[in-house]
Amino acid sequence: MSLFLNKDADIWLRDGLSPDEALTRTTHLGIGAHQDDLEFMAYEGIAACYDCDDRWFSGITVTDGRGSSRTGPFANLSDEEIREIRREEQRTAAEIGHYSAQFQLDYPSSLLKGEGRPQVTEDILNVLEKARPDVVYLHQPADKHDSHIAVLRCSIEALRQTAATHVPERVIGCEVWRSLDWLDDSEKVAMVCDAYPNLSAKLYAVFESQIAGGKRYDLAVEGRRRANATMFDSHGSDIYQSVAWGIDLKPLVVNPDLSIEAFILEKIGRLSQDVKDRVQKYS
């Protein structure tokens, strides 16, 4: 029986293992919408597992890459050509990052954001049931990219369906298309990304179709992390060089009655109140 409903899904495995074997040893799992999302949002997990015998990172990339940005040397590529390039880039990242497994579900963004969400949820569920990871990295609910939110919804639904038998120790929403600098300091999950700086640079460089094609994600992500590390504390000296902020999404997994909307709007409400209180203090 196939692991995924989509027959075009791509499966990359390390060490000649079967999918079940690769997932059984997976401790850290990233679930992202696009090729390169995992490397930019879940680097903490990739680095934690790198060259480690008892921790393994695996990734799920949901969409097919056909809608990727194309300028410069990639400007004239067809949707099918950019899909193949993006797919190979993600495989290469998995090889460089020493992932246990990399799954590319190959769903068109339009299907993900429409009638295909139940299929995506089931595919993610199949991975979760076999992997039972300790840590899961997801998109965060205040992200402004529609595909990211669609993947988040599918992921939370799949995690809720497995909660009766397994709940990861940590479920973290990660920064991509909107930072989490605004989150109350007491609620920020600090993911230190100082380890293996050469590895992070190599992972970023893999995605040449986007970097050379007009999107300098490599500079943007590293700049954000450096800003997070410095701008967190206005009085203390920097402790780390590179920090990604996360948000704890485990409450959404263990409480199926808590909607994603209510969860994130409560956090935004705290920001609103903090700004109001600070301004009124000096009125």
Pairing of strands 170-174, 243-248: antiparallel
For the record, the structure tokens of 5 come out as: 């409903």
pLDDT, tens digit, for every residue of 183-209?
999 999 999 999 999 999 999 999 988
Domain that holds residue 234: 10-281
Confirm whether 265 is domain-assigned: yes
Average pLDDT over residues 60-68: 89
**Which of the residue ranges 2-16, 105-119, 225-239 would you say has the lowest mean pLDDT?**
225-239
Residue 234's pLDDT is 62
Domain CATH number, residue 168 = 3.40.50.10320
Residue 67's pLDDT is 76
Handedness of CA 180, 40, 119, 250 (dihedral sign): negative
| Residue 262 predicted with pLDDT over 80 | yes
Q: Contact 191/44 with Cβ under 8 angstroms?
A: yes
CA nearest to 109, candidates 140, 145, 82: 145
Confirm whether 87 is domain-assigned: yes
CA–centroid distance for 60 within its chain: 9
Confirm whether 3 is domain-assigned: no
Confirm whether 271 is domain-assigned: yes
Q: How many domains does the chain have?
A: 1
pLDDT, tens digit, for every residue of 125-149?
999 999 999 999 999 999 999 999 9
Confirm whether 1 is domain-assigned: no
Confirm whether 166 is domain-assigned: yes
What string of H, E and C letters represents the secondary structure of 16-38? CCCHHHHHHCCCEEEEECCCCHH
